[in-house]
Amino acid sequence: MADSFRIPVGPAPGAQTRPTPAAGASKPTAGPGFGESLARAQEVHFSNHAMNRLESRDIQLSPENVNRLSDAIDKAQKRGGKSSLVMVDNLAFIVNVRDRMVVTAMDSNQRGEGVFTQIDSVVFADPSASPSKPLLDKLG
């Protein structure tokens, strides 16, 4: 897992999060700003193995799916999850929660017997709730 593919959830890489000092300014920068650090912490990383699985299984991820995956990783982390099965619709991801690293990915056609071992949690990445629709409309 030396190389990983990263899909940022925050600002685009290289996007400035703070103004650039004027020419001739002598104040050195102390490193990345808070916003930049937060964006890096919220990234979802994909191992080479996971990237190969996505490609070979022709699994396409939309930005919404990646955001839902990131939110699910946040939930697992808050509950102390270390190795989680994250379900995003019909897609299943095994995730190393601490590193925010997707280890492998599969859809409903590649789940085999549907038995997952060596995980400590399961998180269902629910679609974003629409604020314009009341909860009762969704239940009925």
Whether 7 is in a domain gets the answer no
pLDDT at 31: 59
Of 16-30, 54-68, 123-137, least confident by mean pLDDT is 16-30
| Total structural domains within the chain | 1
pLDDT of residue 62 exceeding 70, the answer is: yes
Expressed as residue numbers, the domain containing 113 is: 32-139
Q: Furthest-apart CA pair in the chain: how many Å?
A: 64
Going by pLDDT thresholds of 50, 70 and 90, the confidence category of residue 35 is low
Whether 90 is in a domain gets the answer yes
Strand-pair partners of 87: 92, 124
> Which amino acid belongs to residue 129?
A
Report field, pTM of the whole predicted structure over 0.75: no
Residue 116: alpha-carbon gap to chain centroid: 20
d(CA 44, CA 5): 9
Whether 21 is in a domain gets the answer no
